[in-house]
Amino acid sequence: MLKNDRYIKAALSQSVDKTPVWMMRQAGRYLPEYREVRTQAGDFMSLCMNPELACEVTLQPLRRYDLDAAILFSDILTIPDAMGLGLYFKAGEGPAFRQSVTTENDVKRLFVPDVSDKLKYVMDAVSLIRKSLNGEVPLIGFSGSPWTLATYMVEGGATKNFGLVKGMMFERPDLMHKILDILARSVTDYLNAQIESGAQAVMLFDTWGGVLSTANYQEFSLQYMQQIISGLKREVNGQTIPVTLFTKGGAGWLEVMAESGADCIGLDWTIDINLARQRIGHKVALQGNMDPCVLYSNPERIKQEVGDILQRFGQGNGHVFNLGHGIHPTIDPENVKAYVDAVHELSVPFHL
């Protein structure tokens, strides 16, 4: 039984006493205690693949702040790594794969990983985190979207112009659809396994959906996220499992995202949350959407921005307060406390 179910209720557009708050990447490099554990682990993937250490860093922000949810500490690229592509991290450059997916033969070698084998370390972490939380707050599981995962797989790592992945999309859409179908089936299995292991909500991170045109977004990103959502286990022991869909740069497609089957739509900071609520807020809950860089300012300015966003969302339920993307690693931890406390303090009148 959850002692604090505010996040679950808000994601399902149910009544709450105050707006719940958490942060994307809330377990991360901005916390000195995280940096200590990462040093202990040796490298990022060793940290992700150690359930005890992954549990520890998941819990760290909850010890500092009055957050309304925990999110599994892991990486969005665990699925392609489990496919044998050899995920590693270049210092200062981000993720990369030893084997990219650029030819028809590369695509033929792809497979849906056995989550009980190749991704068991993730499920072990989920189980341990859920047990360690002891019902204090819910645990959010997550995955990257098929399009986002495919982007890294085809490009071989991070990219700025998306030339390889878009080149394949335009020249060989048949290959791209094969990749995306395999990934959609993989993500469905992966998220369902997280739910079975103890995740009480799940989120799809469509980090790179916003680089597509409207037609291509619907064909190569959204339809596969819809496929995943339709295949998810949505109830455990009588409790609904909320699903959040977040497309960075997706403000132009809110209406079709709201028809995806997700319970909650994540917003980046480039859209006014009032306009988003007018467009889709009666169909789904909204998550967001403070610019992460506001946290570089000071407690007074942070509180002002929190109040402005709450005011723009307005009276009523269906709002999960979050940043519009992940917290930056050089943020002062004390400013995070100001952000979390301001949401709880200022949101009460909006739920009376």
Catalytic residues, which ones?
Answer: 25, 29, 38, 75, 152
Residue 34 tokens read as 């995280």
- Which one, of 294, 352, 283, lies nearest residue 321 by Cα? 294
What 3-state class would DSSP assign to 316? coil
Is there a contact between 344 and 21 (Cβ–Cβ < 8 Å)?
A: yes
Interstrand relation of 285-287 and 239-240 (parallel, antiparallel or unpaired): unpaired
Yes or no: say if 169 and 176 are a contact pair by the CB < 8 Å rule.
Answer: yes
Q: What are residue 236's DSSP bridge partners?
A: 239
> In this structure, which amino acid lies at residue 219?
E
The C-alpha atoms of residue 306 and residue 327 are separated, in whole angstroms, by 15
DSSP 140: E
Q: Which two tokens stand for residue 137?
A: 């707050």
| Distance, CA of 281 to CA of 17 (rounded, Å) | 19
User: HSE on the CB side for 236, CA within 13 Å?
Assistant: 16
What φ, ψ does residue 157 adopt, rounded to 5°? 160, -155
Question: How far is the C-alpha of 101 from the C-alpha of 165, rounded, in Å?
Answer: 9
Three-state secondary-structure class, residue 266: strand
